[in-house]
Amino acid sequence: MSILLQTTGDTAFSLLPLVRGVGLVLAIAAVAMFFKPLLGGIFRALVLVVKPRLSKDQQAARRNMRNAKVLQRMTNSSSCNASLTAELRAMAARS
């Protein structure tokens, strides 16, 4: 009987670090879930510090440049079709 109790006690002591580790992981997960909105906001603020957003004017200028490049590529690729090339040039002049 004492051997059985001693074996049970040794098993309980050998599982104690595992139980403690699982409890610690669960506690960290619970705190992270509770503070998830706060942590998300902090993460977004850090991203904006590293890579700030472009202003509206900068976004418009980038969009216009991208559109002009696309039209230029389309014009270059359709050099055999004169009417399509003229139409693309007219579209480029409007933007």
How far, in Å, CA of 60 to CA of 41, rounded? Answer: 27
CA angle 54, 58, 61 (to 5 degrees): 145
pLDDT digits (tens, 9 = 90+) for 55-76: 999 999 999 899 888 877 877 7
pTM: predicted TM-score of the whole model, two decimal places: 0.43
What's the pLDDT at 19?
85
What's the pLDDT at 16?
78
Neighbours of 88 (CB within 10 A): 20
Percentage of the chain lying above the pLDDT 90 cut: 44
**DSSP letters for 16-63:** HHHHHHHHHHHHHHHHHHHTHHHHHHHHHHHHHHHSPPPPHHHHHHHH
SS3 82: helix
| pLDDT exceeds cutoff 80 at 26 | yes
Report, as an integer, the average pLDDT of 39-60: 94
